[in-house]
Amino acid sequence: MKCDVCENEATVFLTQIINGQMTTVNLCETCSKAKGVTEETGFGLAEAFLSPSHRTESDTMEIVCDACGFTASQLKKIGRMGCPECYAAFRDGLDGLLRNMHKGTRHVGKRPSHLSAVTPQILPRQRASALKDAPPPAPVPAPLVPPPDIAKLRAELDLAVKEERYEDAAKLKSEIENLQPKASK
């Protein structure tokens, strides 16, 4: 059999299956070296088939936490989150992970009685969208005692009702009622 590139006798036979399509390439010693398919490490071969477009695509698909810049692959590697907001960013698939780790996927224990401790932005299921022109995120410390925000509490209450978390809803309702006569304590 002759080399597909030159007229020499082919000694390297390469079969590749890409997207279910099989192609066969026959090369002579010289041409195979020139194409880099017989490098000892074998990396030449792998590199040749891993199209660069494929790799960059997977990079841009990666979910990143807007708040701290932590990535899904870092999470996978170290098994820890970058910041509290990461739980919202990486919410997809979290339930499955938690089910393997814990007795349940919903917290039933202690709750802070000061609702200022609640992080409402985690509540809505949201996907991290890349903010291209945003500067590197520098987490802003929350104010020491954030002013109670009735609108925020109402939104939480709505969500609690929608999610049928009636115990939370009751708590939120009394919290709002407490705040209504006077805006600040």
Partner 1 sequence: MMRFATLIKNPADWMKGAGPHSDVVMTSRVRLARNLRGYPFPGFSQERQRIELLERARPVVEELPEMRDGYSEDYTELSKIRKQVLVERHLVSREHAARSSGCAVVVDRKQSISIMINEEDHFRIQGIRPGLNLTSAFEVVDRVDTELEGLLPYAFDPKLGYLTACPTNLGTGMRASVMLHLPALVLTEQINPVIKAIGKIGLAVRGLYGEGTEALGNLFQISNQHTLGEAEPEIIAQIEKVIEGVVRSEVTARAKLKEDHQTMLQDQIGRAFAILRYAHILTSKEALNLLSMLRLGADLDLVGNCDRSLIDMLLLEIQPAHLQLNAARELSPEERDSMRADLTRTRLQSIDGPGSFPPSQSNNGGTTSPTNDE
Residues that bind partner 1 (CB under 8 A): 67-68, 70, 74, 78-84, 87, 94, 97-98, 101-114, 116-119, 122-123, 139-146, 156, 160, 163, 165, 168
Least distance from C-beta 139 to partner 1, angstroms? 5
Integer CA distances (angstroms), 62 to 90, 124, 133, 149, in order: 10, 20, 17, 34
Nearest Cα neighbor of 121 from 92, 87, 94 is 87
- Judged by beta carbon, residue 45 or residue 123, the one nearer partner 1 is 123
Least distance from C-beta 133 to partner 1, angstroms? 22
Would you say 82 and 68 are in contact if contact means Cβ atoms under 8 Å apart?
A: yes
Least distance from C-beta 148 to partner 1, angstroms? 12
Would you say 26 and 9 are in contact if contact means Cβ atoms under 8 Å apart?
A: no
- Judged by beta carbon, residue 55 or residue 185, the one nearer partner 1 is 185
